[in-house]
Amino acid sequence: MAEQTVTLQPGESKQVVFEAIPQQAKVYQVSIDGLTGSFVAVMPPVASLRGTVLHKDHSPAVNRLVVISVTYEEYKAGKGLKTYTNSSGVFYFDGLSLGRCNIWIYDTPYPMSRKTDLVEGLNVVGPYILS
């Protein structure tokens, strides 16, 4: 709980600022010397990304590394999020920020790169066909 003590002379006013960093999405109650109020903390919107990777013959590309990153520099620095395709050639990322991202699908000798814009909710991409 944040606390400040402010002394005022009659007729004087002073701005007092408190910063609250909520840990849960809920309604928070505020009370200052008998005055009450509230604010609502909400979760930021998130996106999920699901895609399919197939071989030329449309069979699933199993256990392929898939990396997503916001920038090429992030990808090159190894800071992207990583997962692998499952037995159906499907990959899935959850809890992503909204906006543009790069998708890197590994196929020797070079990864395939695609861009997509993530919106709130489930984003479905592909199928991506490996060469």
User: What pLDDT was estimated at residue 82?
Assistant: 94
pLDDT at 63: 94
Q: Is residue 107 part of a domain?
A: yes
Domain at 94, CATH number = 2.60.40.10
- Is 11 within the bounds of a domain? no
92 domain residue, yes or no: yes
Domain membership of residue 63 (yes or no) is yes
Whether 101 maps to a domain, the answer reads: yes
Predicted local confidence at residue 58, as pLDDT: 94
pLDDT confidence of residue 1: 61
The residue range of the domain holding 92 is 47-129
Task: Name the domain count of the chain.
Answer: 1
Instruction: Confirm whether 94 is domain-assigned.
Output: yes
State residue 87's pLDDT score. Answer: 96
Q: Is residue 111 part of a domain?
A: yes
Given a contact cutoff of 8 angstroms between Cβ atoms, the answer to whether 77 and 69 are in contact is no
Structural domain includes residue 66? yes
pLDDT profile of the chain (131 residues), mean per 10 = 81 86 86 86 89 94 92 84 95 91 84 89 91 78
Cis peptide before 22 (omega within 30 of 0): no
